[in-house]
């Protein structure tokens, strides 16, 4: 499996990043270990998570995903074989949020403890913090780098203007964002394409996309409203249940049939074919789903395929 650099870093990853948001949320510890074992064996060496996964689930407090990842890494003895990507800054309880000196350093320490590691390969601001000057945030990231607690800094959910401001402030001993994690997929293109993509390309940033399968919609399993009933991500996928979304599924079906592939494989291959994208993030809750992800890295879309999908 070919490897790609994450922007101007020495971090090399497979062309797909395994999403860890499901660990401890929609799959338990045993199932998570099975997915992680199979993913590493298949060559997926980068795993994405965040401290807030899965604080949004009833009875959860956050850190569930990082905790399971840390237990797996320690149990399997594979720290030197994996690239850990995690994020901080979103609310983790009263007074535990933001990208300022009052919380971000502790958020990093908490992630390190849960992950049972001395360092995080890539640490991201989960979203911009309007209450903290970007200079302060970047100074904290630099301090974390200098202390050996993180290797590289990045951001998620930044607008083009927010990212440009962060890049402009990365002087005078402040860290430089080298990777961004935007919301981007075949069904949701507006947030990334255009100004944000231009900033990323112009500055040579690594780009790893989240919601790469539009919360499952681009797998083709949601075709009518009844398909969403009782699904964990049904509310998120429902935003695509419209004429445009259904037309896109028809085009995915056509291209998938042409290659003997699945809709999910085509949707991920489309992202991997985007010149500015380093790797999409995709999660799996079963070994069958993981096998689908593996096959997506082997699929090469033609110019005709790409034109057919450009809805």
Domain around 210:
4-222+263-300
Say yes or no to pLDDT of 233 above 70: no
Would 106 be classed as within a structural domain?
yes
> Are the C-beta atoms of residues 290 and 284 closer than 8 Å to each other?
yes
Say yes or no to pLDDT of 234 above 60: no
Say yes or no to pLDDT of 57 above 90: yes
The active-site residue out of 53, 123, 158, 177 is: 53
Would 217 be classed as within a structural domain?
yes
Q: Provide the H-helix boundaries in the chain.
A: 29-42, 64-76, 104-115, 134-146, 160-168, 195-202, 234-237, 243-259, 263-273, 287-296, 303-309
Would 296 be classed as within a structural domain?
yes
In this prediction, residue 172 has a pLDDT band, given cuts at 50, 70 and 90, of confident
Would 206 be classed as within a structural domain?
yes
Would 258 be classed as within a structural domain?
no
How many other C-beta atoms are found inside a 10 Å radius of the C-beta of residue 101? 14
Domain count, the chain: 1
Query: 54: cis peptide before it, omega within 30°?
Result: yes
Q: What is the CATH number of the domain that holds 10?
A: 3.20.20.100
Say yes or no to pLDDT of 180 above 90: yes
Q: Any catalytic annotation for residue 53? A: yes
**Would you call 36 helix, strand, or coil by DSSP?**
helix
Mean pLDDT over 252-270 rounds to: 98
Would 255 be classed as within a structural domain?
no
Specify the pLDDT at position 239.
87
Would 309 be classed as within a structural domain?
no
Would 242 be classed as within a structural domain?
no
Q: What is the pLDDT of residues 114-152, one digit of tens each?
A: 999 999 999 999 999 999 999 999 999 999 999 999 999
Q: At a CB cut-off of 8 Å and minimum separation 6, what does 304 contact?
A: none
């Amino acid at each position: 499996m070919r490897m790609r650099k994450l922007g101007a870093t020495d971090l090399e990853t497979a062309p797909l990043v395994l999403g860890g948001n499901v660990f401890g949320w929609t799959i338990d510890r045993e199932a998570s270990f099975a997915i992680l074992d199979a993913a590493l064996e298949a060559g997926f060496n980068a795993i994405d998570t965040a401290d807030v996964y899965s604080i949004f689930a009833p009875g959860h407090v956050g850190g569930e995903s990082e905790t399971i990842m840390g237990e797996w890494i320690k149990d399997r003895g594979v720290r030197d074989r994996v690239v850990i990507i995690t994020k901080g800054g979103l609310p983790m309880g009263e007074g535990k949020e933001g990208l300022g000196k009052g919380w971000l350093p502790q958020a990093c320490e908490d992630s390190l403890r849960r992950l049972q590691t001395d360092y995080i390969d890539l640490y991201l601001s989960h979203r911009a913090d309007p209450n903290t000057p970007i200079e302060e945030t970047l100074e904290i990231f630099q301090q974390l780098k200098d202390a050996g607690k993180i290797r590289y800094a990045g951001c998620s959910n930044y607008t083009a203007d927010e990212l440009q401001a962060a890049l402009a402030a990365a002087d005078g001993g402040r860290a430089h964002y080298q990777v961004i994690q935007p919301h981007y997929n075949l069904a949701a293109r507006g947030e990334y394409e255009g100004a944000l993509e231009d900033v990323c390309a112009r500055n040579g940033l690594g780009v790893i996309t989240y919601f790469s399968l539009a919360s499952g919609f681009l797998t083709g399993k949601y075709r009518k409203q009844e398909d969403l009933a009782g699904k964990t991500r049904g509310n998120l996928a429902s935003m695509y249940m419209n004429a445009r979304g259904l037309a896109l599924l028809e085009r995915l079906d056509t291209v998938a049939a042409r290659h003997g592939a699945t809709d999910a494989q085509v949707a991920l291959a489309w992202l991997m074919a985007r010149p500015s994208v380093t790797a999409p993030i995709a999660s799996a809750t079963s070994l069958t789903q993981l096998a689908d992800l593996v096959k997506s890295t082997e699929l090469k879309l033609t110019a005709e395929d790409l034109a057919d999908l450009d809805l």
